[in-house]
Amino acid sequence: MIDLELAVAFGAATVRVATPLAFAALGETLVQRSGIINLGIEGAMLAGALGAAVGAMIGGPLAGVMVASLVGVVVATVFAAVVVSARADQIITGTAVTLGSIGLTGVVARQYFGSGGAGLDLPTLAPMAIPGLAKLPLVGPVFFVQSPITYLVYCLIPILAWLLFGTRFGLQLRATGESAPSARAMGVRTARVQWIAILLGGLLAGLAGATLVLAQVGTFTEKMTAGRGFIAIAIVVLGRWQPWGVASAALLFGGATALQYLFQASDSRIPYQFFLALPYLLALAALALAYGRARSPAGLGKVE
Amino acid sequence: MTTMLLHRVGVWRAFGPAALALLTGLLLLSAFLTLAGYDTMTALAALWDGAAGSRYAIFSATLVRAIPLLLLGLAFAVGARAGGFNIGMEGQFAAGAIAATWSGLLVGDLPPPVAVTVVLLSGGLAGAAWMLVPVAMRLRFGVTEVITTLLLNFVAEATVSWMVAGPLQEASGGYPQSDPVAVAARLPRLLPDARLHAGLLLALLLAALLWVAFRRTGWGFRLRAVGAGPTAASTVGGIAPLRVLAGALILSGALAGLGGAVEVSGVSFALYQQLSPGYGFTAIAVALLGRLHPGGIVLAALFFGGLEAGAGAMQRDAGVPAVAVQVVQAVVLLTLVILARRTR
C-alpha cells in the first residue's frame, strides 16, 4: 500500500504548506472587503517571520507567535497610516512597505543572528495529533496530525465568516468596501473600519510568517516569504472574497507547491524549477478564471 | 516680486518633494542604523565613499548602476503615465537578460555593431513578450496588471534558475551560469580604465526621445489623457483607453527587457541568478522621484545608482547588509506618495 502512504504524505504536506497562505489570504480578505488592496502583506509576513524567529529564540514557540502577530500589526500600522489617514496610493504604498520590510528584516537579522544567519535549532511547533479525529482514515492523518497553529486556521475560517456576514461590524466593513461615500452617508466611520481591517490583516500576515518559521522551515532567511503574500492576493480573488472559498483556494495552492515533494520522490525528468514556478503560474490561471465571474468589492483600490 | 514668488513656488513644486523625500529617507536610515547598534557614521562614510568618493566609485560603480535604473525608471514611467503599474520589471529584466545571453552566444561571427544591435533588440522583444500575458489578461478578463506582472517576477526567477542549470549552462557544467557572450556582442566601454559602458549613451538617448514624445506627440498626449481619466479620454477625446494602456505597458516591458540586455551586454557578459539586485523595484522609486519626467528620472537614477553602489561599500566596510538601502527607497516612496496626495 505504498500509494496510500504517498497520498497521505502529499495531503499532509498540502495542508502544512497551505496554512501560512490561508492566514495571509484570510487577512487580506478582510482588508479587500473594506475596499483596500494591501501589497504590503508580503512585508508584514516577512517581518512576522523574523519576529517569530527572534521571539522563539528568547521565549519559545508561543512567544514567537506573539511577537510575530505584534510585528505584523506594526507593519500594517504604517500601511494604514499612509493609505487610510494620509489617503495615498495603495499600490505604491504597499510596494514601499514590502521593500522597507525586506530592508529592515535583512539588517535586523544580520545584527541578531550574525552573517551566518539563524541556526536550525529554533524551538518549533511540532505536529500534534488530535485524539479521535486523527484516527479517521485518510482525513485524520492529513488534517488532524498538524502543527497546532494549523488548528488555529481551522477555527479562524468560521469566525471570519461570522464576522463578515453575521455581525454589524461585518456589514459596515462590506458597505465600506462597496462604496465608502455611501457607507459614510449611512453613518459608518469608514476610516475606523478600514484601520481595523488592515490591522487584523497585518496580525494574520504576521501569523503567516510565524507559521512559515515555526511550523515549516525552522529558521529565518532573508526574503524567505518569496512572494507568498502576493500569492495570497491571488488566492483571495480565486476564493471570491469568501472565507471558506479562500481557505479552499489556499489548499489548492498548497497542493501545487507540495507537488514538488511528490515529484522529487519519483524520479521525473521535469526540471524542479518548473515546480518552483507552478504556484505562480497557477495563480495567474486562477486570476484569469476567477476574475469577472466573482464580483470584487466595488470600491476596491479606490482613493477618495 | 510676485513673479519671483511664483518662481520660488515653481522650484519647490519641482524639487521640494524629492528633496524632502530623500532627506527623510537618509535621516530615517541613520536613525535606524543607530538603533540597530551599528556605527552610523562609519556606515554613512562608507556609503558616500562607495558612491562618489573616488574615480572608481563614480565611473565603475555609480554610473554603471544608474544605467539599468534609468532604463527601468523610464519603463515604469511609460506605463504609469497611462495609468498602468508595471511592478514586474524585475521579471522583464530577467527575460531580456535571458534572450540577450542566448543571442549573444550565437552572434560571434557578426560585425560588432550588428551583433550588439541583435542582442539588444532580442532583449527588448523578450521584455515585451513577457508583458503580453499581463496585457492579455487585462484586456480579456480585466485582471489588474499589478498582480499579474508581480507574479511573473517569480516565474522569471525560476526560468533563469532553470536556464543557467540547463539549456544555457556553461559548457564545462561547473557553475549555475552561462558561458560569456561573444566579444562582438558586448557594448564598448567609454573610458579605458573604468567599467562605464556605452549603455549610458543609449539610455540617455531614450530619455531624450521620451522627453520629446511625452510632450510633443499625440501619443504622449493620449498617454496622459488615459492616465488622468480613461472615461473622459474616451468620451471627449475619442481615445480607446485600453488600447493606449496596452501599448504603453508593452513598451514598458520592452524597455525593462532592454535593461536586462544592456546589463548582460555591458556589465555581466553572462547570465546567472540574481543578476539584478532588485533594480525592478528600485526603479519604481526612481520613476516616482523623477515625477515620471525623463529629465527627473535621469537625476533620480544617478542618485539611486549612487545609493546602490554605496550599499556595497557599506556592507564591505561597515558590516551593514546592503539591503539596508531598501529602507531609504521605501521611505522615499512613502514620503512622495503622501506629498503627491497633499499637492494634488
Q: How confident is the model at residue B200 (pLDDT cuts 50, 70, 90)?
A: very high
| Average pLDDT over every residue of B153-166 | 93
Model ipTM value: 0.87
CB pairs under 8 A between A and B: 146
Which residues from chain A sit within 8 angstroms of residue B334, using beta carbons? 78, 82, 88, 93, 96-97, 100
Q: Give the pLDDT confidence score for residue B1 in this predicted structure.
A: 45
- Is 70 exceeded by the pLDDT of residue B323? yes
In chain B, residues 279-338 whose CB comes closer than 8 Å to chain A? 281, 284-285, 288, 319-321, 323-331, 333-334, 337-338
Give the count of alpha carbons within 13 A of B206, CB side only: 26
E strand map for chain A: 128-129, 145-146
Rounded Cα gap, residues B107 and B230, in angstroms: 44
- Block residue for cell numbers 523625500: B21
In chain B, residues 156-175 whose CB comes closer than 8 Å to chain A? 157-159, 161-162, 165-166
In angstroms, the separation between the Cα of residue B180 and the nearest Cα of chain A is: 23
Q: Give the pLDDT confidence score for residue A109 in this predicted structure.
A: 86
Which residues from chain A sit within 8 angstroms of residue B157, using beta carbons? 276
Identity of residue B158: A
Rounded Cα gap, residues A65 and B189, in angstroms: 53
B9-53 per-position pLDDT tens digit: 566 666 778 888 888 888 888 888 888 788 888 888 998 999 988
* Chain A residue closest in CA terms to B314: A107
C-alpha torsion angle, residues A292, B253, B92, B268 (rounded to 10):
-170
Which residues from chain B sit within 8 angstroms of residue A108, using beta carbons? 36
Which residues from chain B sit within 8 angstroms of residue A89, using beta carbons? 337, 340-341
Q: How many residues does chain A have?
A: 304
To 10 degrees, what angle do helices B325-343 and B279-289 make?
Answer: 30
- Is 90 exceeded by the pLDDT of residue B81? yes
Rounded Cα gap, residues B256 and B68, in angstroms: 8
State the DSSP code for A187.
Answer: T
DSSP element (H, E) containing B135 = helix B112-141
Average pLDDT of the residues of chain B: 89
Q: How confident is the model at residue B344 (pLDDT cuts 50, 70, 90)?
A: very low
Which residues from chain B sit within 8 angstroms of residue A285, using beta carbons? none
Q: Cβ separation of A277 and B38 shorter than 8 Å?
A: no
Rounded Cα gap, residues B52 and B307, in angstroms: 10
Which residues from chain B sit within 8 angstroms of residue A82, using beta carbons? 334, 337-338
Which residues, 6+ apart, have CB-to-CB distance to B132 below 8 Å? B250, B253
Which residues, 6+ apart, have CB-to-CB distance to A129 below 8 Å? A144, A145
- Give start and end residues of each alpha helix (H) in B36-111: 40-52, 55-56, 63-81, 89-106
Q: How confident is the model at residue B5 (pLDDT cuts 50, 70, 90)?
A: low
- Among A92, A105, A222, A278, most B C-beta atoms within 10 A, so best to mutate, is A92
In chain B, residues 8-47 whose CB comes closer than 8 Å to chain A? 32-33, 36-38
DSSP string spanning B220-274? HHHHHHHHH-HHHHHHTT---HHHHHHHHHHHHHHHHHHHHHHHIIIIISS-BTT
- Is 90 exceeded by the pLDDT of residue B291? no
CA angle in degrees (0–180, nearest 5) for A85-A91-A93: 50
Closest of B312, B343, B339 to residue B47, by C-alpha? B312
pLDDT below 50 — which residues of chain A?
1
Q: Give the pLDDT confidence score for residue A161 in this predicted structure.
A: 95
Q: Cβ separation of A281 and B338 shorter than 8 Å?
A: no
* Chain A residue closest in CA terms to B339: A88
Per-residue exposure over A112-147, b if at least 16 CB sit within 10 Å of its own CB, e if not: ebeeeebeeebebbebeeeeeebeeeeebbbbbbbb
Which residues, 6+ apart, have CB-to-CB distance to B18 below 8 Å? B289, B290, B291, B296, B300, B336
Percent of chain A with pLDDT over 70: 93
- Going A221 to A99 to B97 to B302, the CA torsion angle's sign is negative
Q: Cβ separation of A88 and B341 shorter than 8 Å?
A: yes
| Average pLDDT over every residue of B142-148 | 87
State the DSSP code for B142.
Answer: -
Q: Tell me if A40 sits within 8 A of A167, measured CB to CB.
A: no
Q: Give the pLDDT confidence score for residue B26 in this predicted structure.
A: 85
In angstroms, the separation between the Cα of residue B327 and the nearest Cα of chain A is: 5
Q: Give the pLDDT confidence score for residue B341 in this predicted structure.
A: 64
Which residues from chain A sit within 8 angstroms of residue B285, using beta carbons? 96
Q: What is the pTM of this model?
A: 0.88
Q: How far out from the chain centre does Cα B67 lie?
A: 8
A25-41 per-position pLDDT tens digit: 999 999 999 999 999 99
Q: Give the pLDDT confidence score for residue B127 in this predicted structure.
A: 98
| Average pLDDT over every residue of B200-208 | 97
